[in-house]
A and B are shown apart, each in its own frame.
Chain A
Amino acid sequence: MPVRVHLSSNLRGPTGGVAEVEAEGATVGALIDDLDRRYPGLGDALRSGVSVVINDLLIAHPDYEPVADGARIYFVPQTAGG
């Protein structure tokens, strides 16, 4: 079942500037693989220095996080701090 994936604007190069796209995958890692198939180059951009917001939770290392039907996924730059 496809889910809606939102890309922060600095990640939209491979989608031609499109902010929200569809993809399928049981985990975030699988979702990234599918996104890379649909938008070549997007996988590399999403596998390094990127976090995910799923169901209001900011997750810094999301590769194996499950993706439920109907979930909305937001890819955002990873943050640091002092």
Chain B
Amino acid sequence: MTVTEPKPSYKYIGTRPVRHDGVEKVTGRARFAADLNLPGQLHGIAVRSPHAHARIVSIDTSEAEAMPGVKSVITGDDFPAVAPGDRNYDMCVNVIARDKVFYEGHAVAAVAAITREQAQQAAAAVKVAYDVLPPVLTIDDALAPGAPVLHGHMLTAGADPPAEEPSNISNITRFAGGDLDAGFAAADLVIEREFTTQPVHQGYIETHACVADTGQDGHTSIWCSSQGHFNVRSSTATLLGWETTRIRVIPAEIGGGFGGKTTIYLEPLAVAMSAKAGRPVKMVMSRDEVFRATGPAPGTRLKVKLGVQSDGNLVAGDAYLIYTNGAYAGPGGLLGAMTVFESYDIENFNIEALDVVINTARSAAYRAPAAPLTAFAMETLLDEVATELGIDPMDLRLQNAVTEGDPSTMGFPFARIGFVECLEAIRDHPHYTAPLGPNQGRGLAAGYWFNIGESSSATVNLNEDGTATVVTGSPDIGGSRASMALMAAEVLGIDVYDIRPVVGDTEAVGFTDVTEGSRATFATGMAVVEASRKMVVELRGRAAKMMGVDVDDIDWVDGQAVYTGSDGEKDPLPLAAITGKAKRTGGPLTTTGSLEAHGAGPGFAVHLCDVEVDQETGVVRVVRYTASQDAGTAIHPSYVEGQIQGGVAQGVGWALNEEYIYDSDGVMENPSFLDYRVPVASYLPMIDAIIVEVPNPAHPYGVRGVGETGIVPPIPAVANAIHNATGCRLRDLPMSPIRVLDAITSNGGSKGA
């Protein structure tokens, strides 16, 4: 279902062709990183710390090096030194530890051998002597007076007065507006609540994998799965101290990333071992390694206070947010501060956010980083306000929703946004008024995410027969090949299946930033449109030459050159007629588009969730779910719907099941999908996705990013639904059966006070 405001009539954009890479993927022919094998290839295994916090006293690799089949063993000493405080320090020492390990699973060495089994045995023979330090595992641990300090160089950024002693607080962010005291004084209702959430993993199905092949000329090729192969190149070059030009990165298909593959873990290890051994090295993480050593989303403790007038007008908001970012500094608190009140027009506000480090794996981005958690706090609080004031939760949100021209938390006025339209789409959906069954409840929640632009490149090559190849530098993590082909088809006026969209390697296409911030269809799409428009200019010139007329008298209409001059009638020249004579009119037809994309339009989403709660076990089942989201313009509606549905699925898992469980030494106790439960298809109902289209004026076709916003509302939508079903407010994640049952029991049963 699509809600659309008036927009130009498109021929290809908005249609739903089968994705160009679809057959390869459903028949198992698509090649993911672990599918690649090279002649003479070795298998690499990382040696990982069993301790959450320890000083490395020594590493003895001699026994491992002497074992059968072993061709290369490396440690941190095989990489250039990096000074604490260097802007690349965190990334470098996270890939391979130097003097300290900061979490269980931290790589300290790596081994490459002829077989994986030989590598595993040799890895076990690497002797690492540790001086074990007390681990810092929670927010309370990190902030306790006299707590062990993870990084002796870490002075709190943003501290006022400036920090003079190191601590586990990496950053403090403060935003304020209006007069907070006056705002609360004007309120008729003030509610303050505290929330806790646990780290969760992105849960991509494909584990991290790569193959590196370093030649005798000192150049290396890396095949890997990532969200940005140019980023893999630059990060690997930084870690190795190599010139960028020595590294070529060839993108494999990606089996899920969700933000977790915007950084690197294995590639520098594989390259270093390949260079040492003179043979290709393949590394594939186990699921256990993925859980222990790759980035979860932060855990949090959030305190939010709202002041509301009796008519529902929000007049004050105060938030104190603490985010754990794992072992190194991260942006969780900053992004939480930027999102907590962003969806609503609250004149008087104060936000303080702390980023703290603890001895767990370094956090990595996860769809709309930090925002699902602030939404959990804000949107459940709004639900409580609505209940207290006897106002419909939809009306409360409509009354306070930001619209064009309203100031953001950072001060700038919003451009054209579609929050109200998303709310109205849910309000007008049959689901909103559908009857509920026994033990069922309904929850409403909204969400916001910024989206970003950054750099992208594209090349359009026309073939002799009038077909086209569109090469971009963005890995296809969510159907972007099809979107790129659709935008090129719209400009060139040729069928979308006459266009072959290709993801080019780092030597085949211009620089392109990592796919994050929902930027691929927005920014890389802009590059495709730019290259395609240049191609149309070129085609008009070639056609003018062939017709012997002035180029100003040539229009490009539906894939052919049309003469519009006054010198009689001339037959239009179809594209294939022009490409077929390219050699005679100037040579190959190739154009490029490279740009830094400005004006990524913010995304809003509104979700409606029905749950059924088993009163005897506390098990919560989502029985109906409807989600609206502003896509600006949906280039390929099926993949917009897919992004919405995927975000909901992950958000429901975050709400109900998922959490890292550590023992008292900081050792993860549930590093498998048996013990860390993500929702599977049978666990969820069909998710009804409503695409709202409020075009982004900064994009030639109105695109807004859609990959992240869909994960923001599900946690509070589920929490509000559980309250509606049971009368219980749950403010700690996950809302597992035991927590729900405890809440029901202590609340005197379903629909208690």
Contact = CB atoms under 8 A, between A and B. Distances in A.
B359 interface: no
Given A6-B412, A79-B517, A13 B450 contact: no
Interface stretch (B27-35, B92-100, B303-311, B592-600): B592-600
Contact of B453 (A60, A77, A80, A82): A60
A61 interface: yes
Interface string B355-367: 0000000001111
Given A56-B599, A57-B698, A81 B368 contact: yes
Contact of B365 (A13, A53, A74, A81): A81
B49 interface: no
Contacts of B453: 58-60
A32 interface: no
Contacts of B369: 80-82
Interface stretch (B126-134, B170-178, B272-280): B170-178
A31 interface: no
Contact of A13 (B160, B260, B262, B697): B160
Contacts of A58: 450, 452-453, 598-600
B212 interface: no
A57 B414 CA distance: 10
Contacts of A57: 598-599, 698
Interface in B331-369: 331, 334-335, 338, 364-369
Nearest to B172: A10
Interface in B293-347: 331, 334-335, 338
B43 interface: no
A7 B600 CA distance: 20
Contact of B451 (A59, A77, A81): A81
Contact of A7 (B365, B411, B517, B519): B411
Contact of A79 (B160, B411, B413, B450): B450
Contacts of B452: 58, 60, 79-81
B454 interface: yes
Contacts of A81: 259, 365, 368-369, 449-452, 516-519, 708
A56 B600 CA distance: 10
A23 interface: no
A81 B708 CA distance: 8
How large, as a class, is the contact surface on chain A? 20 to 34
A76 interface: yes
A73 to B, nearest CB: 9
B174 A10 contact: yes
Q: Is the interface of A mostly helix, strand, loop or mixed?
A: mixed
Interface string A47-82: 000000100111111000000000000101101111
Contact of A61 (B173, B175, B367, B596): B596
Interface string A31-53: 00000000000000000000001
A77 B172 CA distance: 13
A77 B171 CA distance: 13
A41 B67 CA distance: 58
B239 to A, nearest CB: 20
Contacts of A21: none
B158 interface: yes
A80 B411 contact: no
Contacts of A56: 413, 415, 599, 697-698
A82 B697 contact: no
A74 B411 contact: yes
A76 B517 contact: no
A12 to B, nearest CB: 9
B258 interface: yes
Contact of B175 (A8, A74, A80): A8
Contacts of B598: 57-60
A19 interface: yes
Main secondary structure on B side of the interface with A: loop
Given A79-B517, A80-B331, A53 B412 contact: yes
Contacts of B365: 80-82
B319 to A, nearest CB: 13
Nearest to A7: B411
Contacts of A59: 453, 598-599
A60 B411 contact: no
Contacts of B259: 81-82
Given A77-B410, A81-B369, A10 B175 contact: yes
B516 A80 contact: yes
Interface in B387-414: 408-413
Given A7-B411, A9-B176, A81-B516, A60 B368 contact: no
A60 B475 CA distance: 22
Contacts of B408: 76
Contact of B708 (A10, A13, A77, A82): A82
A60 B600 CA distance: 10
B596 A9 contact: no
Contacts of B410: 8, 74, 76-77
Interface in B146-187: 158, 160, 173-177
A19 B410 CA distance: 10
A40 to B, nearest CB: 15
Given A57-B598, A58-B600, A74-B411, A79 B335 contact: yes
Contacts of A80: 331, 335, 365, 369, 452, 516-517
Contacts of A60: 452-454, 596, 598
B516 A8 contact: no
Contact of A82 (B176, B258, B599, B600): B258
Contacts of B519: 81
A22 B410 CA distance: 18
A82 B516 contact: yes
25 contacts: A8-B410, A8-B411, A10-B174, A19-B411, A56-B697, A58-B453, A59-B599, A60-B452, A61-B596, A74-B410, A76-B411, A77-B410, A79-B335, A79-B338, A79-B452, A80-B517, A81-B451, A81-B518, A81-B708, A82-B258, A82-B259, A82-B367, A82-B516, A82-B517, A82-B708
Given A10-B175, A82-B366, 18 more contacts: A6-B412, A8-B409, A9-B174, A10-B158, A56-B415, A59-B598, A59-B599, A60-B596, A74-B410, A74-B412, A77-B410, A79-B335, A79-B450, A80-B365, A81-B517, A82-B260, A82-B364, A82-B708
Interface of B: 158, 160, 173-177, 202, 258-260, 262, 331, 334-335, 338, 364-369, 408-413, 415, 449-454, 516-519, 596, 598-600, 697-698, 707-708
Q: Which 9 A-B pairs have the closest CB atoms?
A: A82-B259, A81-B517, A82-B365, A74-B412, A56-B415, A76-B410, A8-B410, A53-B412, A57-B599
